Structure 1
Amino acid sequence: MFPLEVAMLPGEELPLRIFEPRYVALVSDCMAMTEPAFGVVLISAGREVGGGDQRCDVGALARIVDCQNFGVDRYRLRCVMAERIRVLRWLDDDPYPRAEIEVWDDEPGTADASLLADVQDRMVALFDLIGEARGVAFHSRDIVTAAAADPIDPLYALAARVPMGQADRYSVLCAPSAAARLDALSEAVDTVTAMVEFQLSE
């Protein structure tokens, strides 16, 4: 397991530089696997380095797609986040964080098409607002359309493009169904939009 201060969503890429001894050992063990992967969860309190952190129990598998070994116990990884997981039981951190996990599939229930279209429209408006705040023009509709066409999970792809906080990202990740995930994404878009509008009003 690799606790991070970021709630990673399925489909996202995760680049890592590995130098801490416990994670050097983790990478070494992973690369001995046929399909090297490890679990990633959000740190709810504490820091990434040194241990002693408090960890959330929902995360995702990180599949290692490229591993560069620089010697002297240093690696550079490129990972792609895959299946969502739940921690059943944390084990001793020896020699690195470990847990018993299960893959967490969605519960039945599809996302409402009209609400999805509405969320996409609000995302376009949000990106236009962010562009106005930064003085740059985004191709907002193209960004949203490309995410919505993601073949694996459009909702995770859409959420990954919204500059939301970690609590909102974790809510999207923890949503038990596609319908609940869309609700969480909708709330996050509203929250970020309100923050940007407040900044523009100052």
Structure 2
Amino acid sequence: MAVSPMFPLGSVLFPFMPIQLRIFEPRYLTLVGRMLDEEEPEFGVVLIERGSEAGGGDQRASVGTMARLVSAAAGADDLFIVGLGTKRFTVERWVDEDPYPQAKLSMLPDLEWSEKLAPLRDQAEAVVRRLITRAAGPMSDDDIELSDDPVAAVWQLAAIAPLGDYDSYTLLRSTTLGGLLRQLIDLALEAEELWSAE
């Protein structure tokens, strides 16, 4: 069971998706500094379910996503880092913050694709694209290109769907790709109804 440096954030990171962070707190600058000494630097990302990370006393989600550090660039008083989501994990327990958040993690199995899911994926893509157009305007979904990797494409759909953080967290916790797609369709249709009612 690995101990990993952690970023509790106000948003969900999905596998295969990029994350950009501006690092300015001393403890997180220390975290990144230590990561840069590693051959394959990684960090965990979890959603803050309640409270504020900056003030402490936050309540953190138990399922998150590992991110591989892709790049780091120094600013005047801060760092800008880019990571790429890889595997999902469950937090077994948080360990002492010395000086930044750390947790013992168990990795979750990757979700597996089956060609039987293709119609469901097509339906999910249609609903998500329709919702994006409704939320952001008719030109907004033209630039969306999904991965040729079907598993990556499903996670991309979950990431680009204009849903709230708790809905995104529900999707992140999916145990099968079919379950993820069905939940995504249901949540997107619910969101579409809300947009229609406004």
Query: Equivalent residue for 2:193?
Result: 194
SS of the residue 2:109 aligns to: coil
TM-score, scaled relative to structure 1: 0.85
Gaps of 5+ in 2: 1-5
SS of the residue 2:56 aligns to: coil
Q: 1:80 and 1:106, CA in 2 relative to 1: closer, same or farther beyond 3 A?
A: closer
SS of the residue 2:82 aligns to: strand
TM-score, scaled relative to structure 2: 0.86
1:50 aligns with 2:55: yes
Where do 1:89-108 residues align within 5 Å? 89-106=93-110
Total equivalences in the alignment: 192
Query: Equivalent residue for 2:80?
Result: 76
- Deviates further, 90-99 or 102-111: 102-111
Q: 1:123 & 1:69 partners in 2: Cα distance?
A: 36
Where do 1:20-169 residues align within 5 Å? 20-70=25-75, 74-106=78-110, 110=114, 112-131=117-136, 136-138=137-139, 140=141, 143=144, 146-147=145-146, 149-150=148-149, 153-169=152-168
> Structure 1 vs Structure 2: percent identity of aligned residues?
33
Query: Equivalent residue for 1:15?
Result: 20
SS of the residue 2:146 aligns to: helix
Residue 187 of structure 1, CA deviation: 1.8
Q: Deviations over 1:36-74 (max 9, x none)?
A: 1110000011113132211111111121111113365x2
Residue 189 of structure 1, CA deviation: 0.8
Residue 198 of structure 1, CA deviation: 1.2
* Contact 1:109-1:178 within 8 A present in 2 as well: yes
Residue 128 of structure 1, CA deviation: 3.6
Q: 1:3 and 1:83, CA in 2 relative to 1: closer, same or farther beyond 3 A?
A: same
Q: 1:96 and 1:190, CA in 2 relative to 1: closer, same or farther beyond 3 A?
A: same
Q: 1:126 & 1:71 partners in 2: Cα distance?
A: 40
More strand by share: 2
Residue 77 of structure 1, CA deviation: 0.8
Gaps of 5+ in 1: none
Tell me the C-alpha RMSD between the 2 structures.
2.2
Amino acid at match of 2:72: C
